[in-house]
Every structure is written in structure tokens, then in C-alpha cells.
Amino acid sequence: MHHRALKVRSFGGHLVSILVTLFGLLVLTFVIGRMMPADPVRAIVGEDATPDTYRMMYERLGLDRPIWEQFFRYLGDVLTGNFGVAIRTGQPVINDILHVMPATIEMATFAIVIGACLGIPLGVLAAVNKDKWVDHVVRVFSLMGHSMPIFWTGMIGLLVFYAALGWVGGSGRMSGFYIGMIRGPTGFLLIDSLIAGEWDIFYSALNHLILPASLLGYSSSAYITRMTRSFMLDQLNQEYITTARVKGLSQRDTIWKHAFINIRVQLVTIVALSYGGLLEGAVLIETVFAWPGFGQYLTNNLLIGDMNAVMTCVLIVGLIFIGLNVLSDVLYRVFDPRTR
């Protein structure tokens, strides 16, 4: 009974922590929306609107009410799923985001798989060969990925691999010929084209996805490589590794069955946060590749001062990171029994 009570208290503590974080996120989003220099009323009625029209819209949006009343009205709208209407499309903002989000998730997922599959082995390799030429090469490789602006690598990638060599597709999610031919249930172009049996569209979508996902993956792999190397170096200097080597355990088993196992929990957090960063930070790469995703949607609405769309995007970014942190906590318990 005592053990069960501790579990309930632990779950309750986590739930309260999540709810407090969500409330803080809502407060922060509301404050950002009110501090932005853009005029949401002017963005709706236009520059040529009369003072009477402006005042009517101002009152309709509730901006004439006390700030605390505006916040609780905003809180009620969020809790009921009412995020307002987007100026550019005239559609509910949440519908617009549900339409563009699959494109970003598709690219970010491919990117994080590339980043993790590249960064983790390279980080381990660099740690095992500390201060040797392999270590120096890996560190330069990761430093370049971390230092080069993603919009610059995107343009260079298009010039080299698309324009010059023709190995990959250009801008957009697929060739212009296929646009509008797939309206699947998921919004994920690769999945929907497979469901429909449209192999030409699938290969076109994959061909257009490879380059931006690879560039994002390389950028995220730089961070993952550096952190993996740091974690591994810390473990390789522990006494239990020395003991394993003295007992005659092979280097492969020492590295992968002892040292690497002990950094899995830390790597979960690194990969999760990198994935969240890709979901909300793909603005530049989406702009370069004309990728109709979440980042480009946020940028376009920020430029025209559509605060309904901007505030909703900011809120979703926060929810993504909260969700990934919760997922990390769950995976902690899976990979490390000591945390259960």
C-alpha cells in the first residue's frame, strides 16, 4: 500500500507540474501577443478602414476590456479549441495548422533519424579515439554542421545537388505536375501516396524530401555528436570501465554493453529536444525550399501581423516541447529501472 501511495503521489506531482507549465505557457503566449508591435485590428480591417470600422473591430475583439478579462477570455477560447480565424485564408487557425503540420513533421522526422543515426555513432567513435586523428575529423565535421547557417547550406545544396547534378528534387514537396492529385487522410505525402498506390508521386515526394531533410539532419547531428562524445568520455573515465578492461572484456563489449548503455537516458533527452527544435525551427529551410510547412506558415502570418495565427503557433511550439519532455520522462523509466 505504501509503495502504491508513493506511485500515486509521484503521478500527481508530475500532473501538477505539467498543468502549471501549461498555465505558464498560456500566460507567456498571451503576454507575447499583447507586446507584439503589430496591430491585429489594422491587419484585419486594412489600412484604409474608417475610424468607426476600426473601433467596431477593436470592440469586437475585446481589446477595449480590462487586461485580466482579455486573458480569461483567451483562456476560455483555448480550452474550447477556439483559436480564431486566420486573416490570409479566412479559415480557423487550427485547421490551417493541421493542414501544414504534416509537412514539417515529415521532414523533421526524417531529419532526426538521419541526425541520430549519424551523430550517435560518430560521437562514440570520437570518444573512443580521443585526441587521435579520427577524433579531430569528427569534431571538425560537427563544428561545420553547427556553424554553417542552414539557409546557406540549403541554397548551396540546391545549386549543387539539384541544379548542377540533378540528383534530387527542387523546391516544394513534390513536382508541380502532381500537386492536387493526392488528398489522403493523413496529410503525410509519403504515406498518402502509398495508400493510394501512386508510386510516381511517392518517389517524387521522397526525391524532394531527401535534400532538406539531410541538411537538417546534418545540422542536428552536429549537436548530437558533441553531446554523445561528452557523455561517452565521462563514462570511459569511470572505474567500472577500467575494471571491465582488466577482466579482459573486449573493447566492443566494454563500449557498447557497458559505457553506451549508461548514456542512453541522457541521449533520449538530447534527441527529443533536437526533434522539438527541428519541428519549430525549420523556418529558414522551409523558406529556402518553399516547403509548405509550419515554419513557413508562422513566418508568413508574422509578416502580416496575424496575431491569432502567431499566438497559436507559439502555443503549439510550447506544447511540443512539453510533450517531448513528458515522453523523455517515460523513456527514462523504460531505459533506466533505477528511476522507476
Interaxial angle between packed helices 93-128 and 199-236, expressed in degrees from 0 to 180 and rounded to the nearest 10: 50
Predicted confidence at residue 9, as pLDDT, reads: 62
Predicted confidence at residue 323, as pLDDT, reads: 81
Q: Is the pLDDT of residue 122 over 90?
A: yes
Predicted confidence at residue 112, as pLDDT, reads: 93
Mean pLDDT of all residues in 300-329: 80
Q: Quick: pLDDT tens for 246-298.
A: 777 777 878 887 788 888 888 888 888 888 888 766 777 888 888 888 888 88
Q: Is the pLDDT of residue 306 over 90?
A: no
For residue 243, count other CB atoms closer than 10 A to its CB: 12
SS3 content of the chain, % helix, strand, coil (to 5): 80, 0, 20
End-to-end CA distance of the chain: 16
Predicted confidence at residue 8, as pLDDT, reads: 56
Predicted confidence at residue 199, as pLDDT, reads: 86
| Its pTM surpasses 0.85 | no
CA distance 33 to 36: 6
Predicted confidence at residue 38, as pLDDT, reads: 67
Q: Which of 146-155, 198-207, 231-240, 326-335 has the lowest mean pLDDT?
A: 326-335
CA distance 124 to 230: 9
Predicted confidence at residue 116, as pLDDT, reads: 92
Q: Quick: pLDDT tens for 46-103.
A: 677 777 777 887 777 777 777 777 788 878 878 887 887 787 777 888 888 888 888 8
Mean pLDDT of all residues in 193-199: 83
The widest CA-to-CA distance across the chain, in whole angstroms, is 85
Q: Is the pLDDT of residue 6 over 60?
A: no
Predicted confidence at residue 43, as pLDDT, reads: 67
- The overall average pLDDT reported for the chain is 81
Predicted confidence at residue 111, as pLDDT, reads: 93
Predicted confidence at residue 86, as pLDDT, reads: 80
Predicted confidence at residue 299, as pLDDT, reads: 83
Mean pLDDT of all residues in 31-50: 71
Predicted confidence at residue 53, as pLDDT, reads: 78
3-state class (DSSP) for residue 182: coil
Spatial CA neighbour of 209 closest among 121, 114, 294, 119: 114
The type of residue at 183 is R
Q: Which residue has the cell 486573416?
A: 87
Q: What is the b/e burial string over 223-241, where b = at least 16 CB atoms within 10 angstroms of the residue's CB?
A: bbbbbbbebbeebbeeeeb
Predicted confidence at residue 115, as pLDDT, reads: 92
CATH classification code of 100-289? 1.10.3720.10
The residue ranges of DSSP E strands in the chain, in sequence order, are: none
CA distance 211 to 289: 9
CA distance 280 to 45: 30
* pLDDT band, residue 4 (cuts 50/70/90): low
* pLDDT band, residue 300 (cuts 50/70/90): confident
Spatial CA neighbour of 186 closest among 115, 114, 109: 109
